[in-house]
Amino acid sequence: MVNYPKNVTYEHPKTTWRQKEPTPLSDEMLNSVECWWRAANYLSVGQIYLLDNPLLHEPLTANHIKPRLLGHWGTTPGLNFIYAHLNRTIIERDMSMLYITGPGHGGPGMVANAWLDSTYPEVYPDIDYSEQGMRKLFRQFSFPGGIPSHVAPETPGSIHEGGELGYSLSHAYGAAFDNPDLLIAAIVGDGEAETGPLATSWHGNKFLNPLKDGVVLPILHLNGYKIANPTILARIGDEELEQLMRGYGHTPYMFEGGFDGEDHLEVHKRFAALLDEVLNHITRIKADAEAGKLNERPRWPMIIFKTPKGWTCPPVIDDKQVEASWRSHQVPLANARDSDTHTKVLENWLKSYKPQELFDQTGAPVEAIRRLAPRGNKRMSDVPQANGGLLRRDLILPPVENHEVHFSARGNRFVESTRVLGEWLADVIRLNPDNFRIFGPDETASNRLAPPVYSATDKQFNGEIWPIDENIATTGRVIEMLSEHQCQGWLEGYLLTGRHGLFSSYEAFIHIVDAMVNQHAKWLKVSRHIPWRKPIASLNYLLTSHVWRQDHNGFSHQDPGFIDHVVNKKAEVVRVYLPADANTLLYTWRHCLKSQDYINVVVAGKQPAPQFLNMEEARNHFKRGLGIWEWASNEIAGEAPDVVIAAAGDVPTLEGLAAARILRERLVDLKVRFVNVIDLMRLQHEREHPHGISDAEFDAIFTTDKPVIFAWHGYPSLIHRLTYRRHVHDNIHVRGFNEEGGTTTPFDMVMVNDLDRYRLVMDVLQHVPGLAIRHAGLLQEMQDARNRASLYARTHGEDIPEVANWVWDDSPTQKTGLKAVSATGGDNEY
């Protein structure tokens, strides 16, 4: 893997979906599989326990054992068993496989397998095939400055962080889309199988196209126990479990082995036969698909793999059953260092794998093992899809300029910005037919990306399609399922294997995936510092049904806090954009679809809204990220303004502009500066975020001491948080969402939350020294206007015409000669 050339399009290996006659394992192959398994188990136990003496060349003593035993054994032997058997089939059938480790605690096993197939020493040359290399392999595991105890970005072959559970199958399906030559073996832990996201992710099989997509082979690792409990699926009986799998649309193959002292060679033989049967079943489906003979959704095989938890560890320790119980979940022998008896038990356990048969004197795996490693990037730890950046091709991005929204005067044209974006995305889809997808719960139409997007593609679905259905087909670039977890998991799997996409959703309900975002952000943060992991496409969110326009729904659908959640992540990973109109939205998305290794959150309304910037202005504004809108300002060049009205977000921008207009008309002498923020991270200091700007730049735009009335899309505290070290901070006054939503006309909504134009004018009057007293009449007038508007809405059920019909007056500013001041720099290529 270290030899991957840079800047070269990487061809991923092809699979031949070949049938194989069921023949018993040869003795040689049987020996290889058994030796691999024992070696992987030995290396796993070694990682958990050993500081030194890795090959047991001397008797084991306390000094060879780690002082703190941290790791998990329980799921590991099962994972190792499956890995060994899949290796055989890869070699015999020349297949391309990706191995996804759902049981997160299987970390030591996956490291062991990657070492055995020689990927690990290639990627980490100091962990080589020597006694010293094996010592390092053991020592680094779950050790300060070493590697995590879970499957992680550091693990070659993995696209799946083994922390939070529940996403193995959605990652697998995400990886399978548009990868027709790939088989993804998705090991599902019976613990994670209890989670909600996993429980619904079985339905991924209704979205896979048997011809154009890859194959997901779920293997339910039914070892029966969690940390301290049995698992549900192990306690409902085989019949019910099989019905569940059939109900999920699978053909279950039940395998039970390793109990009651069953001979390991027998278990291998039986599992090898079953695996051949399963792969032949898959191959038949593939062949039928290729021959056009598939008349219905295939019931893809899945395997129920019932083996003992902690398999091959000491069955009983201190008179308690450990193997085949929850007691083997973490470290079966907790006192291995402190108790001579336990040290001896550990030594015997390690020796039970007969390491002298598995490794030569230097520590290298013996030939019987090495021949079970597939060649090159057919090795599951080296498969390029597990390092998706290798396969990532830049999207061909059509010019956004073709979709410019023209207007005769600023603000006089009302457009659904997301529909304009949809037109551009339709072009993106046409130009990138096999590596770009849109995922969403049920929002593509509601969010106005459709109809345009459906001029270029359909929604992909493989359940029954009825004549009444529209824009649904067995292939298509849009995938919709009412599960944010699946959308997120699929997109992650798609991106991690080298492709591009976006997730379109409700702003309020995107919190459903908060925890998944955390995991992906961690993945990106860590991956950036692993040289052999190549950058992947950014994870892009389009949040259009946003907090300010939930007329159909109300309070239950209002929550702008996802931005706050994302901003807690590492600055190098996170970007947040709030374009105020369609033209800026286009440039925003052009940037997002070009970017790599970020989480981009774009918030944009879907309702008809006024358009303010022409294409050149939009491009420059996006590039700068924030800046003064001179045409909306009313100040004199060279003089400081009296007040700054700042706005971020489409609705706040509209209200801020309306407030600025009122001030221009009513307080002719007041020097008002209007600032718009599109790239939220520009507010931070350049020390804190790559997009941040210096104090000098910030001061030039926001002043050091004038009142800043900030109309903000989300919770006000976030603006304070981003700016609290700025000179002007004590004079920044934010209006945003204050959890007082619940009404059902747009202006009533902003009034209830104090973000309305009249309230903003009142804020200006109250914070510019002297104004409130001199203009007490205007203050009262604004309050009256609010009362009037509120009463009107509550009587008529719609907004008062003076607001509903309000249009920005684009007549020239009173003052002239203002020069634009905008932030510079940043990485916002347009």
CA distance 708 to 732: 5
With respect to its own copies, which residue has the nearer C-beta, 249 or 332?
249
- For position 72 contacting its own copies by CB under 8 A, the verdict is yes
Altogether, the residues listed in the chain come to a count of: 830
CA distance 391 to 61: 47
User: According to CB under 8 A, which one of 63, 568, 787, 824 is a site residue for its own copies?
Assistant: 568
- Comparing CA positions, the residue from 466, 485, 463, 484 lying closest to residue 474 is 463
CA distance 636 to 815: 6
- For position 62 contacting its own copies by CB under 8 A, the verdict is no
Which of 114-122, 301-309, 369-377, 514-522 is the region at the interface with its own copies (rule: CB under 8 A)?
A: 514-522
Helix (DSSP H) and strand (DSSP E) numbers for the chain: 27, 22
- Comparing CA positions, the residue from 599, 625, 600 lying closest to residue 693 is 625
With respect to its own copies, which residue has the nearer C-beta, 471 or 614?
471
With respect to its own copies, which residue has the nearer C-beta, 228 or 773?
228
Distant-in-sequence, close-in-space partners of 263: CB < 8 Å, separation ≥ 6: none
Which of 77-85, 305-313, 444-452, 700-708 is the region at the interface with its own copies (rule: CB under 8 A)?
A: 444-452
Contact 438, 449 (CB under 8 A): yes
Contact 716, 753 (CB under 8 A): no
CA distance 35 to 84: 9
Site string for its own copies, 535-554 (x = CB under 8 A): ----------------xxxx
In order of 48, 108, 684, 754, the CA distances from 677 in angstroms are: 51, 47, 12, 20
The footprint of its own copies on this chain (CB under 8 A) covers a number of residues equal to 124
Which of 2-10, 108-116, 600-608, 790-798 is the region at the interface with its own copies (rule: CB under 8 A)?
A: 790-798
Greatest CA span in the chain, whole angstroms? 98
- For position 618 contacting its own copies by CB under 8 A, the verdict is no
Which of 347-355, 427-435, 462-470, 695-703 is the region at the interface with its own copies (rule: CB under 8 A)?
A: 462-470
Distant-in-sequence, close-in-space partners of 464: CB < 8 Å, separation ≥ 6: none
Structural tokens at position 684: 């931070």
Which of 138-146, 265-273, 352-360, 629-637 is the region at the interface with its own copies (rule: CB under 8 A)?
A: 138-146
Contact 511, 565 (CB under 8 A): yes
User: According to CB under 8 A, which one of 126, 240, 263, 705 is a site residue for its own copies?
Assistant: 240
- For position 598 contacting its own copies by CB under 8 A, the verdict is no
Which residues within the stretch 95-114 sit at the binding site for its own copies (CB under 8 A)? 104
User: Nearest approach, Cβ of 2 to its own copies (angstroms)?
Assistant: 24
Contact 435, 495 (CB under 8 A): no
- For position 63 contacting its own copies by CB under 8 A, the verdict is no
- For position 316 contacting its own copies by CB under 8 A, the verdict is no
User: Nearest approach, Cβ of 59 to its own copies (angstroms)?
Assistant: 21
With respect to its own copies, which residue has the nearer C-beta, 19 or 446?
446
Which residues within the stretch 170-189 sit at the binding site for its own copies (CB under 8 A)? none
- For position 525 contacting its own copies by CB under 8 A, the verdict is yes
- For position 67 contacting its own copies by CB under 8 A, the verdict is yes
Q: Fill in the DSSP letter of residue 147.
A: B
User: According to CB under 8 A, which one of 514, 705, 802, 827 is a site residue for its own copies?
Assistant: 514
CA distance 96 to 89: 10
Where would I find the H helices in 677-775?
A: 695-702, 716-723, 746-752, 757-767, 771-774
User: Nearest approach, Cβ of 157 to its own copies (angstroms)?
Assistant: 17
- For position 744 contacting its own copies by CB under 8 A, the verdict is yes
Strand partners, 147: 141
User: According to CB under 8 A, which one of 263, 739, 802, 829 is a site residue for its own copies?
Assistant: 739
With respect to its own copies, which residue has the nearer C-beta, 291 or 468?
468
Q: Where are the beta strands (DSSP E) in 222-290?
A: 251-256
With respect to its own copies, which residue has the nearer C-beta, 155 or 822?
155
Which of 94-102, 264-272, 484-492, 693-701 is the region at the interface with its own copies (rule: CB under 8 A)?
A: 484-492
- For position 596 contacting its own copies by CB under 8 A, the verdict is no
- For position 570 contacting its own copies by CB under 8 A, the verdict is yes
- For position 243 contacting its own copies by CB under 8 A, the verdict is yes
Where would I find the H helices in 316-359?
A: 340-352, 355-358
Q: Which amino acid is at 827?
A: D
Which residues within the stretch 485-504 sit at the binding site for its own copies (CB under 8 A)? 485-486
* DSSP strand pairing (478-480 vs 574-577): unpaired
Residue in this structure with the two tokens 């804020």, named with its chain if needed: 763
Spatial strand order of the sheet with 215-221 comes to 96-101, 182-189, 215-221, 301-306, 251-256
User: According to CB under 8 A, which one of 131, 181, 242, 404 is a site residue for its own copies?
Assistant: 242
- For position 512 contacting its own copies by CB under 8 A, the verdict is yes
With respect to its own copies, which residue has the nearer C-beta, 402 or 717?
717
Structural tokens at position 706: 């004038």
- For position 556 contacting its own copies by CB under 8 A, the verdict is yes
Which residues within the stretch 40-59 sit at the binding site for its own copies (CB under 8 A)? 51
User: Nearest approach, Cβ of 758 to its own copies (angstroms)?
Assistant: 16
